[in-house]
Amino acid sequence: MWPVFKKEISSFFTSPVGYLVMGLFLVLSGLFLWVFKGPFNILDYGFADLSLFFLLAPWIFLLLIPAVTMRSFSEEQKLGTLELLQSKPLSAAALVMGKYFGAFVLVLIAVLPTTLYIATIYEMGITPGNLDTGLIWGSYGGLILLMAVYTAVGIFCSSLTQNQIVAFLGAILVCFVLYFGFESVSTLFSAGDSVLNVQNLGIKAHYERISLGVLDSRDLVYFLSLTAFFLFLSTKRLNRLKT
């Protein structure tokens, strides 16, 4: 797994991909939070907190993470190097995990500079320092779990096709359905329990609870199970390609 992981990280930072991903995320989030007028503008919001950032980030990652993961296996299949990787003493699971952690770490590095927003918000309040840092770090935890699921979905979609654009669009579609699709379907129900049960099938309900500082083991199990499920599907797909 580690040789694949190091190769992925090296390929990201020896090409413009890694820097482009980090730059795009920081520019987009910065523009929406501090420059563009709209529902995500912190200066117009009237409250010195980062809740708007955590509402915006899932939508940026909806495009950004599939762009990172689309080449993971699609490129290997197209160039014929996947067979070479599979011929080495490396299990399909190790190959998937190496690719997965390479992409995940890149996205994680892209998020790290946003912690500077905390210092900015810290000084913006009527009383400087009046900031619920525990809530912010809990929200970052929810964001990391969301990134983990999106990355696993992207890796799986990349394993399905040789076409990177198809992998990119497929990952966007699956992530969108998982994040917002169940929320939309729940509006078709009138009973409160039915609405809640359908919403809990999607990512959005679990993510928002964590972002509010509600730490529930069920939310953690949900994210970890969903991530493991798509990584398992990717492993099964590679084993099928090998035979």
Confidence of residue 159 (pLDDT cuts 50, 70, 90): very high
Cα separation, 97 vs 99, in Å, equals: 5
Residues 6+ apart with CB under 8 A from 211: 51, 54, 55, 138, 139, 142, 143
- Residue 62 pLDDT: 93
As a whole number of angstroms, the distance between CA 62 and CA 226 comes to 16
Kindly tell me if the per-residue pLDDT of 166 is higher than 80: yes
pLDDT at 222 over 90: yes
How far apart, in whole angstroms, are the C-alpha atoms of residue 16 and residue 9?
12
Measured from the Cβ of residue 156, the count of other Cβ atoms closer than 10 Å reads 27
Q: What is the DSSP letter of 187?
A: G
Share of the chain above pLDDT 90, in %: 41
Give buried/exposed letters for 15-44 (b at 16+ CB in 10 A, else e): eeebeebbeebeebbeebbeeeeeebebee
- Alpha carbons 109 and 18: distance in angstroms, whole number: 9
Mean pLDDT of the chain: 86
pLDDT at 20: 86
